[in-house]
Amino acid sequence: LPASHRSSPLGQSVSLGIHESQSLLWEDVIGRSEAFLEFLQPLLAAVSAGSFSPDPRALWERVNVVQPSLIRVDADEVTYSLHIVIRMELELALLNDELSVKELPSAWDDRYRHYLGVTAPSVKDGVLQDVHWSAGLFGYFPTYTLGNLAAAQLFNAAAAQINDLESLIARGDFVPLLRWLHENVHQQGRCYSGAELIQNATGTPLSPDHLMQYLENKLRPLYGI
């Protein structure tokens, strides 16, 4: 952020959705990419003295397996948003007095069976797995999905403006991408709303199309579909 904005309303992040987009862009869009894993593979081999040295392609396939899971933070990129849908539906039911707290564990299990076909063996792996509700953070979960949408869209915009971005990532050169994010996201602080920031940075309103295309581009070669 510009020094002139420090300690002012402008010197803060714009929204939780944009905030989460930065985490998810690096964790998933970059961290699960074939280019990044090409860079990471020799580092893993070096620190493990060669005991862990998978082929970069095999490593990429390994970290992008798609399968239903019980735990949100362990979910793959495809099923992750279903974990958010479940929580949002339950939050709305609680707030609208359509569901009591006592009924929450069974309602949780019902939705996990419906959406993901899995059942938690205990509430520890079920309704109590997150800290958000006990901390009063109702309405937080959808910001993760907003972050996923924004992350894919921001990366597409950056890739269109940075020459050969994937090759840079494969070489471990993240400076051009980080600089682009500084200029288009971080330094903007709270000058714009989240919607305005995405529009300014990418040239289009926030849309699920970028995330859907990102997932399709990954899944087609991954699963041969």
| pLDDT by position in tens, the chain (length 225) | 778 888 887 888 899 999 999 999 999 999 999 999 999 999 988 888 777 777 888 899 999 999 999 999 999 999 999 999 999 999 999 999 999 999 999 999 999 999 999 999 999 999 999 999 999 999 999 999 999 999 999 999 999 999 999 999 999 999 999 999 999 999 998 999 999 999 999 999 999 999 999 999 999 998 888
For residues 21 and 197, give the distance between their C-alpha atoms in angstroms, rounded to a whole number.
12
For residues 72 and 141, give the distance between their C-alpha atoms in angstroms, rounded to a whole number.
11
Q: Write down the domain spans for the chain.
A: 72-142
Instruction: Give Cα 58 distance to the centre of its chain.
Output: 22
Q: If DSSP codes are grouped into helix, strand and coil, which group holds residue 107?
A: helix
pTM of the model: 0.92
Which residues make Cβ contacts (< 8 Å) with residue 176, sequence separation at least 6? 162, 165, 168
